[in-house]
Amino acid sequence: MEERKVLVAGGNLLQAHTWKGLLEACGIHVELRGEALLGGIGELPTGMHNVELWVGESQHASAQVQLNALDVESPQWQCVQCHETNEGSFELCWQCSSERSESHN
């Protein structure tokens, strides 16, 4: 049996499932570990509730290339309420907490 390596470790379950699906669509077998522990957040030590994507050692480099290709920066956006410029990853304006608009810079 092939040795497996951690590809990504983090706490975002939705993103982990998205990456798993995209990698599997590229023919890379991915194992998701730690998903069941997320129900214990607050009860378990912080180091124990990470979601991890594991791949075979022979597919690790290919999987890393695929994930790097997905790293697309979201464009900044301007709040329609206070006109503050916000990073693309923000869903709420950092200054006035208004929801993200469709107006992009």
For 89, the domain range is 73-105
**Same domain, yes or no, for 29 and 62?**
yes
64 and 82 both lie in a single domain:
no
What is the per-residue pLDDT across 52-105, written as a single tens digit (0 to 9) for each?
889 999 999 999 888 888 765 567 788 999 999 888 778 899 899 998 865 444
Same domain assignment for residues 66 and 78: no
Average pLDDT value over all residues in the chain: 79
pLDDT one-digit tens code per residue, 23-66: 999 999 999 988 765 554 555 444 445 778 899 999 999 998 88
What are 2-11's pLDDT values in tens digits?
899 888 776 5
SS3 label, residue 40: helix
**Same structural domain, 82 and 52:** no
Place of tokens 């990504």: 8
pTM metric for this prediction: 0.56
Is there a single domain that holds both residue 35 and residue 79? no
Residues 61 and 41 in one domain: yes
Rounded CA-CA distance 40/37 in Å is 6
pLDDT at 13: 76
Q: Are residues 78 and 54 in the same domain?
A: no
53 in Cβ contact with 7 (< 8 Å) = yes
